[in-house]
């Protein structure tokens, strides 16, 4: 009888030990290593790790070289998804339940993707809403499977050439016809002329959305986004993977130190009709550069921020940006005598070459389209 009770006691002890280990494993830990749910290939996704922001922030020439604040000490990482619940958990009375519908609701995406939310608002107000949104599409129509959940492979950043963090592309629908879509016509003159040297976004994205002049001191102090100036008057042309593509900038200020990162960026404000030739070739920015002038992409006049309007090629030593200090709600003033801004080319973007600029500087004859 005594041995029987001893065996029972040992069995109970093992159960308690195993149960305790399970509970410890289920406690949320650091977002880089643990997930509150069971371990999944999702844990290697960019939505979970946030590696893209970390990678470019911590790069030797990145913004951490200005702030000296490790990424782990910033609130940026808090937006990244720690479990499936962020996109799939739905309150149903006193209970929670799994929902596919919630994950396809754009408002779910907009909780974190603030720049896209601002983009849609600006586009709509300007009467040029993204062609896909106007057709009733949602984020999940283009971004699904590995774009959201990853594919099990560790990704450095969203635009890493291989393995890609985002696989959604214009080609997937308009050439490969993965989903029935208006088909790409290679015989359109602009398509023929540019061939494979120009990305679709360079002509079809209406403008670059920029959350300009992030006031990092206040962002850290307040622990939230919003210390920036949204603008959408210009579009940058930048190189990415051998093609000229649409780009934007991330400009930041920290303790009066200035920083600007140029990067390829796909603003979700797509027009079904591409740009006119003279929107890029021999436009006012190109002509000014040819005369040795610099382009004041963002200036500050009469107490107001004044952005350039139109297409601007990324030739860094020809571009001027004003950097501002926030002195109150919607009140800014230029930073004085802080020296030149530190420049980074992020997300594998590169400036336009001299040869590419020469082509923009040439007068082009507009080809006649077939009737």
Percentage above 90 pLDDT, the chain: 74
36 inside domain: no
Cis peptide before 138 (omega within 30 of 0): no
pTM to 2 decimals? Answer: 0.87
Helices (H), 27-113: 46-49, 51-58, 64-67, 85-88, 100-103, 106-110
173 inside domain: no
pLDDT of residue 36: 54
Question: Which of 33-37, 254-258, 367-371 reaches the highest mean pLDDT?
Answer: 254-258
Residue 49 sits at φ, ψ, to 5 deg, of: -80, -30
312 inside domain: yes
Q: How far apart are CA 68 and CA 336, in angstroms?
A: 22
- The yes-or-no verdict on residue 25 having pLDDT over 70 is no
Domain that holds residue 83: 47-168+199-361
- Determine the distance from the C-alpha atom of residue 194 to the mean position of all C-alpha atoms in its chain, rounded to a whole number: 26
pLDDT of residue 371: 53
Name the domain count of the chain: 1
pLDDT of residue 252: 94
Which comes out higher in pLDDT, residue 13 or 109? 109
Which comes out higher in pLDDT, residue 229 or 19? 229
30 inside domain: no
Mean predicted confidence (pLDDT) in 158-171: 94
Contacts of 371 (CB under 8 A, 6+ apart): none
Q: How far apart are CA 239 and CA 64, in angstroms?
A: 24
Q: How far apart are CA 270 and CA 277, in angstroms?
A: 17
pLDDT of residue 7: 52
pLDDT of residue 34: 54
Q: How far apart are CA 17 and CA 38, in angstroms?
A: 19
102 inside domain: yes
- The yes-or-no verdict on residue 158 having pLDDT over 90 is yes
pLDDT of residue 20: 41
193 inside domain: no
177 inside domain: no
Model pLDDT for residues 29-43, shown as the tens digit of each residue: 444 445 555 688 999
Model pLDDT for residues 124-137, shown as the tens digit of each residue: 999 999 999 999 99
Model pLDDT for residues 284-331, shown as the tens digit of each residue: 999 999 999 999 999 999 889 999 999 999 999 999 999 998 888 878
Mean pLDDT of the chain: 88
335 inside domain: yes
């Amino acid at each position: 009888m005594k041995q029987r009770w001893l065996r029972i006691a040992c069995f109970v002890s093992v159960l308690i030990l195993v149960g305790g280990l399970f509970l410890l494993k289920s406690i949320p830990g650091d977002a880089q290593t643990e997930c509150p749910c069971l371990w999944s290939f999702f844990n290697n996704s960019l939505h979970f790790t946030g590696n893209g922001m970390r990678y470019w922030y911590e790069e030797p020439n990145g913004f951490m070289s200005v702030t000296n604040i490790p990424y782990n000490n910033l609130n940026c990482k808090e937006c990244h998804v720690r479990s499936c619940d962020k996109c799939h958990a739905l309150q149903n009375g006193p209970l929670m339940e799994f929902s596919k519908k919630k994950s396809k609701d754009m408002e779910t995406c907009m909780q974190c993707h603030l720049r896209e939310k601002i983009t849609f608002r600006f586009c709509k107000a300007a009467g040029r809403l993204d062609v896909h949104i106007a057709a009733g599409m949602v984020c999940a129509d283009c971004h699904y499977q590995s774009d959201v959940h990853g594919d099990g492979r560790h990704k450095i950043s969203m635009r890493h050439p291989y393995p890609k963090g985002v696989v959604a592309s214009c080609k997937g629908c308009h050439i490969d016809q993965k989903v029935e879509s208006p088909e790409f016509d290679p015989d359109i003159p602009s398509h023929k002329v540019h061939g494979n040297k120009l990305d679709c976004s360079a002509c079809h994205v209406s403008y670059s959305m920029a959350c300009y002049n992030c006031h990092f001191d206040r962002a850290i102090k307040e622990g939230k986004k919003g210390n920036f100036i949204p603008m959408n008057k210009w579009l940058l042309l930048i190189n990415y993977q051998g093609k000229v593509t649409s780009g934007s900038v991330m400009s930041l200020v920290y303790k009066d130190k200035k920083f600007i990162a140029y990067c390829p960026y796909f603003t979700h404000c797509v027009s079904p009709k591409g740009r006119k030739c003279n929107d890029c070739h021999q436009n006012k920015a190109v002509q000014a550069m040819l005369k040795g002038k610099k382009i004041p992409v963002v200036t500050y006049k009469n107490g107001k921020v004044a952005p350039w309007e139109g297409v601007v090629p990324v030739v860094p030593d020809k571009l001027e940006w004003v950097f501002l200090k926030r002195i109150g709600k919607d009140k800014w003033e230029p930073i004085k005598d802080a020296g030149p801004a530190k420049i980074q080319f992020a997300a594998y973007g590169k400036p336009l070459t001299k040869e590419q600029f020469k082509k923009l500087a040439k007068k082009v004859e507009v080809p006649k389209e077939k009737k």
